[in-house]
């Protein structure tokens, strides 16, 4: 099993834990640290929607809270025909904590696309602007 396959598999497992009673849009993410550890995350909805947190941010925050600081890839898995990229807020945080990493998009039907973060977020705001 290749490195991308491991991340996709971890994201699929994380998706199983999604709490999405309002939208029924279940998302899983998996973030690979440069140490080799993989951190899964799922979306967690709230009735106000505004307090909902995306799977990608859960994975990032989990990794950061466990002491990781370097990351080299992230995967996002949904059950949609069209692959679902990270939202704008997630793109900002992925850039902030991971930089220009590969973003592996996949669905449950086996469709996979790999793109660089710079393609999804071509003009990021980061510490170079401060």
Q: Which residues are catalytic?
A: 56
d(CA 111, CA 122): 24
Burial 24-48 (b: 16+ CB within 10 A, else e): eebbbbbbbbeeeebbbbbbbbeee
List CB contacts of 129: < 8 A, sequence separation 6 or more.
none
Nearest to 91 by CA among 44, 64, 57, 59: 57
């Amino acid at each position: 099993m290749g490195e991308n396959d491991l991340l996709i598999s971890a994201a699929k497992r994380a998706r199983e834990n999604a709490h999405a009673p309002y939208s029924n849009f279940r998302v899983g993410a998996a973030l690979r640290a440069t140490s080799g550890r993989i951190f899964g995350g799922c979306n967690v909805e709230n009735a106000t929607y505004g307090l909902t947190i995306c799977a990608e941010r859960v994975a990032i925050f989990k990794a950061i809270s466990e002491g990781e600081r370097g990351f080299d890839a992230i995967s996002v898995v949904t059950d949609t025909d069209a692959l679902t990229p990270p939202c704008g807020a997630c793109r900002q945080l992925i850039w902030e904590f991971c930089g220009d990493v590969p973003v592996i998009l996949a669905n449950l039907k086996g469709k996979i696309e790999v793109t660089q973060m710079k393609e999804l977020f071509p003009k990021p705001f980061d510490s170079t602007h401060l």
